[in-house]
């Protein structure tokens, strides 16, 4: 064992301190050596290392998207970030050090004991090996591959190499380039033709420090007629030490396949969460993104579907909640590239106090296509006078046989409505919670049962602090 | 103890005094009616009693079974047993009637108690049947897209479910067709009992043919100007408010 050193990962949250095995620490800042080092530690093939290095150059070259996005992005100091943290790092924090309000939150969310320690940063590993290996046996019988990103590229290049970086090229945007250079963690999944997985696959089963890392990379391929649901994140608050999170998620739905990708994330206030998520939908396939974003300093995320095959269907259902000091910049992209493709976007945002939500939508239907359809609904709810919401829909629809429907609404939580509810005996907080739940209700109904229950509870708790 | 007793109540909004020394006592077991011209302060009275925070109470008291309710929070007043059927009920989008009433009932229980779902739906359906409300309404959002009459019936449904000690009905008869009026009146009459005081605010004496009041008050410029028996309503209808003005001057 090499001598451990003490490092401060984040000075704003100075009570989070990790001892790290520096053999596996890439140091601070982003240089070519860092990328080389990551690739080496992971024992990657040459083509992966070259891919990373090329992506790094792209990253350097690309400007920050501050011309359309928020200026807050300029506050990310790339030279002060650690791009690769060791596996098996041992936090020095003990359960006693965890603040009481955090413990209480776990308690109220009903998070199992073992997971609490992981989530609070007391343990670097969440021991779910048993559950995972049981599941693995089941999956292997069906020929399903469910591994980490590095293992996927190393052990199954014949499957993953073909699609890796194809749905989202490294050059797509500055942050996809960054991820392509330094990615670690995330899941690589392949479901063979015709295999329909009844149980959702969860990133949760494979939780460890790396998996919940800053630069996750996920690639999911559903072969012809295959079906799966994938869930990432959890409603438990993550007490993050690293401020920049930039994941890339690529989905490929082959002919007739169905993929449902569910995200529920509850970030702490210091996190920049800049994620690129996109799916390629082939003929008669269906891709559905369900995305729920709570917390973070700034989230920028616009899940997209490229509707490449005839009759493909894409859907984005999203809920964003921005409290004081938070900015949720979310939306969806639907690129229609074949006849008879359909897409549906329902986005609901809630802004509380000084919280800010923006919706950015992009829908493209070129003129040479026919019988394409898009439906977009975005609704914003503002709570308390200061909150802010903006909508930036970009809809390009050409051709006669294509149809779009776009509806947007902004409502303020009405004081008279709250009085009415209080007159029936609900406290102010209960009234606000119930109203907010009412606002997202029709969307939450689309979520898998256990998520919808947790989500409601989470929204309730988020509301409590904000009123009265 | 068994009174809602309002004494010398003065209240204002944006420096405009609306209630100007109002006195009124509603004993349990009685039904009182308030009539009065538009803008005389009837709705203001009901909202002040319900604890609306936009109104500033400058003097007086309102004692509900021995407890001062002025200055209390709206939800606390509600849980003490005061119910207000709103003149203009508000919409609560996305929240079903069933869930709304259930949340209101749940709020009245101790923390470790929960409502028995089976019993709850039995009561709810029972009340709905009585009020001629289609059972399908349970899953509709509170007041959203309801007709005027449906909103008023929904207010009475909530009242029946919450079983308050004192009820104020602010123009619940406005906008009801004749059949609905009879149904609502029947609903109110069923709630009449020695343990409950009821105040109905109305412009029309017709409602009082179905809900026979023990007393009728005339509200005038923020106070109670006249009080009489049920015949006062008939007299008002026949003579109009000019008559009240003359009476007051005389
Ligand atoms: N928020 C407010 N701001 C200013 N004035 C108000 C406000 N609310 C009520 N008022 C005024 O108070 C007075 C009494 O209004 P209120 O609604 O109590 O009358 P009402 O007797 O219920 O009338 P109606 O028979 O038309 O229902 C009116 O002149 C009204 O304009
Ligand atoms: Mg009125």
Q: Mutating which of A379, A382, A411, A423 best tests the B interface, going by the most B Cβ atoms within 10 A?
A: A423
Residue B136 Cβ contacting ligand 1 at under 6 Å: no
Question: Are A313 and A340 contacting, i.e. CB atoms less than 8 angstroms apart?
Answer: no
Residue B162 has pLDDT above 70, yes or no: yes
CA of B171 to the centre of ligand 2 (A): 7
Interface of A with B (CB under 8 A): 411, 414, 416-417, 419-428, 430-431, 434-435, 437-442
Both tokens of B100, joined, read 């709304």
pLDDT score for A91: 46
In the block, residue with structure tokens 């929240």: B95
Q: Give B-chain residues touching A439 at CB under 8 angstroms.
A: 93-94
Question: Are A244 and A182 contacting, i.e. CB atoms less than 8 angstroms apart?
Answer: no
pLDDT score for A129: 46
- Please state the pTM of the whole predicted model: 0.80
Q: Which has the minimum average pLDDT: A438-452, B41-55, B60-74, B82-96?
A: A438-452
pLDDT score for B216: 96
Residue A248 has pLDDT above 60, yes or no: yes
CA dihedral A17, A20, A24, A27 (to 10 degrees): 50
Helix or strand (DSSP H, E) at A383: strand A373-383
Residue B229 has pLDDT above 90, yes or no: yes
Q: Give B-chain residues touching A431 at CB under 8 angstroms.
A: 75
pLDDT band at A350 (very low <50, low <70, confident <90, very high): very high
Question: Are A248 and A274 contacting, i.e. CB atoms less than 8 angstroms apart?
Answer: no
Residue A10 has pLDDT above 50, yes or no: no
Please compute the mean of the pLDDT values over residues B206-234 and round it to a whole number. 94
Q: Which residue(s) pair with B63 in the sheet?
A: B5, B68
- Taking the C-alpha atoms of residue A330 and residue A333, their distance in angstroms, rounded to an integer, is 10
- CA separation (Å) from A320 to A219, A283, A358? 24, 31, 9
Phi and psi, residue B63, nearest 5°: -105, 120
Please compute the mean of the pLDDT values over residues B74-81 and round it to a whole number. 97
Q: What's the total number of domains in chain A?
A: 1
Instruction: Give the pairing type, strands B197-201 and B31-35.
Output: parallel
Which residue has better confidence, A366 or A110?
A366
Both tokens of A341, joined, read 């493709």
Q: From the CB of residue A339, how many other CB atoms can be counted at a distance below 10 Å?
A: 17
Which residue has better confidence, A103 or A78?
A78
Instruction: Give the pairing type, strands A5-8 and A17-20.
Output: antiparallel
ipTM, 2 decimals?
0.97
Phi and psi, residue A230, nearest 5°: -125, 135
Cα end-to-end distance, chain A, whole Å: 53
CA of B13 to the centre of ligand 1 (A): 9
Tell whether A15 is covered by a domain: no
Coil/strand/helix, residue A420:
helix
User: Which of A135-144, A182-191, A364-373 is most confident?
Assistant: A364-373
Helix axes A174-182, A46-61, angle to 10 degrees: 150
Both tokens of A168, joined, read 């989202």
Tell whether A364 is covered by a domain: yes
Tell whether A389 is covered by a domain: yes
Q: Which has the minimum average pLDDT: A210-224, A404-418, B78-92?
A: A210-224
Ligand minimally distant from the alpha carbon of residue B170: 2
Residue B185 has pLDDT above 60, yes or no: yes
Helix axes B117-130, B97-106, angle to 10 degrees: 120
| Minimum distance, in Å, between the CA of residue B245 and any CA atom of chain A | 34
Which residue has better confidence, A118 or A141?
A141
Distant-in-sequence contacts of B113-121, Cβ < 8 A, 24+ apart: none
| Minimum distance, in Å, between the CA of residue B205 and any CA atom of chain A | 27
> In this structure, which residue's CA is closest to atom 6 in ligand 1?
B13
Q: For chain A, say whether B103 makes contact (Cβ under 8 Å).
A: yes
| Closest-lying ligand 1 atom to the alpha carbon of residue B44 | 18
Cα R_g (chain B), whole angstroms:
18
CA angle, residues A455, A458, A464, in degrees to nearest 5: 145
Residue A375 has pLDDT above 90, yes or no: yes
Tell whether A103 is covered by a domain: yes
pLDDT score for A12: 33
Question: What is the DSSP annotation of A109-155?
Answer: HT--HHHHHHHTTS-SB---HHHHHHHHHHHHHHT-EEEEHHHHHHH
Give me the domain span that covers residue A252.
24-463
| Minimum distance, in Å, between the CA of residue A412 and any CA atom of chain B | 12
Tell whether A16 is covered by a domain: no
- Taking the C-alpha atoms of residue B39 and residue B18, their distance in angstroms, rounded to an integer, is 9
Q: Convert the pLDDT of each residue in B199-218 to its tens digit.
A: 999 999 899 999 999 999 99
Residue A89 has pLDDT above 80, yes or no: no
Question: What is the DSSP annotation of B82-138?
Answer: EEEE-SSPPPEEEEEHHHHHHHHHHTTS-TT----HHHHHHHHHHHHHHTT--GGGG
Structurally, what CATH architecture does the domain formed by B3-249 represent?
3-Layer(aba) Sandwich (3.40)
Widest pairwise Cα distance in chain A: 69
Which residue has better confidence, B110 or A25?
B110
Tell whether A166 is covered by a domain: yes
Percent of chain B with pLDDT over 70: 100
Percent of chain A with pLDDT over 70: 79
Q: Which of A414, A423, A434 sits opposite B78 (nearest CB)?
A: A423
Phi and psi, residue A146, nearest 5°: -140, 95
pLDDT score for A1: 31
Tell whether A266 is covered by a domain: yes
């Amino acid at each position: 064992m090499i001598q451990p050193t003490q490092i401060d990962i984040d000075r704003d949250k100075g009570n989070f301190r990790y001892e790290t095995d520096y053999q596996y620490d890439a140091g601070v800042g982003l240089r070519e050596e860092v990328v080389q080092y990551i690739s080496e530690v992971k024992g990657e093939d040459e083509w992966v290392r070259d891919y990373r290095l090329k992506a790094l150059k792209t990253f350097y070259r690309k400007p920050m998207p501050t011309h359309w996005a928020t200026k807050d992005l300029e506050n990310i100091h790339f030279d002060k970030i650690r791009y690769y943290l060791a596996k098996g790092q041992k936090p020095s924090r003990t359960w006693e050090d965890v603040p009481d309000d955090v413990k209480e939150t776990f308690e109220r969310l009903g998070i199992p004991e073992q997971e609490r320690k992981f989530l609070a940063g007391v343990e670097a590993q969440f021991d779910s090996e048993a559950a995972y290996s049981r599941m693995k046996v089941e999956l292997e019988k069906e020929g399903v591959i469910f591994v980490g990103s590095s293992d996927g590229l190393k052990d199954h290049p014949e499957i993953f190499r073909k699609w890796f970086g194809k749905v989202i090229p490294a050059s797509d945007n500055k942050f996809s380039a960054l991820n392509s250079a330094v990615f670690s963690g995330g899941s690589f999944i392949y479901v063979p033709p015709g295999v329909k997985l009844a149980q959702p696959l969860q990133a949760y089963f494979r939780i460890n420090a790396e998996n919940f890392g800053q630069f996750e990379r996920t690639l999911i391929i559903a072969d012809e007629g295959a079906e799966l649901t994938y869930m990432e994140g959890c409603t438990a608050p993550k007490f993050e030490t690293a401020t920049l999170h930039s994941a890339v998620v690529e989905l490929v739905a082959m002919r007739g396949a169905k993929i449902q990708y569910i995200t529920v994330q509850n970030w702490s206030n210091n996190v920049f969460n800049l994620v690129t998520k996109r799916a390629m939908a082939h003929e008669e396939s269906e891709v559905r993104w369900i995305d729920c974003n709570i917390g973070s300093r700034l989230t920028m995320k616009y899940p997209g579907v490229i509707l490449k095959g005839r009759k493909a269907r894409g859907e984005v259902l999203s809920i964003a909640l921005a409290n004081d000091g938070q900015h949720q910049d979310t939306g969806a992209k639907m690129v229609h590239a074949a006849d008879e493709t359909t897409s549906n976007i329902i986005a609901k945002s809630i802004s509380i106090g000084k919280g800010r939500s923006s919706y950015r939508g992009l829908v493209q239907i070129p003129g040479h296509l026919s019988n394409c359809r898009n439906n977009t609904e975005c609704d914003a709810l503002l709570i308390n006078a200061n909150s802010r919401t903006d909508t930036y829909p970009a809809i390009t629809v050409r051709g006669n046989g294509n149809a779009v429907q776009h509806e947007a609404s902004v409502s303020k939580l009405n004081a008279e409505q709250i009085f009415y509810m209080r007159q029936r005996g609900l406290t102010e907080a209960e009234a606000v919670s119930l109203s907010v739940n009412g606002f997202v209700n029709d969307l939450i109904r689309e979520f898998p049962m256990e998520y919808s229950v947790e989500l409601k509870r989470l929204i309730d708790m988020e509301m409590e602090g904000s009123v009265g | 103890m068994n009174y809602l007793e309002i004494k010398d109540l003065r209240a204002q909004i944006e420096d405009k005094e609306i209630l100007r020394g109002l006195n009124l006592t509603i004993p349990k077991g009685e039904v009182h009616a308030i009539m009065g011209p538009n803008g005389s302060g009837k709705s203001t009275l009901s909202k002040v009693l319900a604890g609306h925070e936009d109104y500033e109470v400058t003097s007086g008291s309102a004692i509900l079974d021995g407890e001062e309710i002025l200055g209390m929070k709206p939800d606390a007043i509600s849980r003490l047993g005061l119910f207000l059927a709103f003149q203009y009920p508000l919409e609560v989008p996305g929240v079903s009637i069933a869930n709304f009433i259930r949340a209101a009932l749940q709020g009245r229980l101790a923390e470790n108690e929960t409502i028995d779902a089976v019993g709850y739906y039995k009561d709810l359906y029972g009340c709905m049947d009585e009020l001629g409300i289609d059972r399908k309404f349970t899953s509709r959002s509170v007041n959203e897209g309801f007709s005027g009459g449906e909103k008023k019936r929904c207010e009475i449904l909530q009242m029946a479910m919450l079983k308050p000690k004192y009820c104020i009905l602010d123009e619940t008869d406005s906008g009801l067709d004749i059949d609905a009026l009879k149904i609502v009146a029947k609903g109110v009459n069923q709630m009449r009992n020695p343990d409950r005081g009821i105040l109905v605010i109305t412009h029309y004496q017709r409602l009082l043919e179905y809900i026979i009041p023990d007393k009728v008050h005339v509200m005038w410029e923020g106070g109670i100007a006249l009080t009489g028996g049920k015949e006062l309503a008939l007299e008002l209808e026949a003579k109009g408010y000019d008559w009240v003005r003359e009476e007051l001057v005389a």
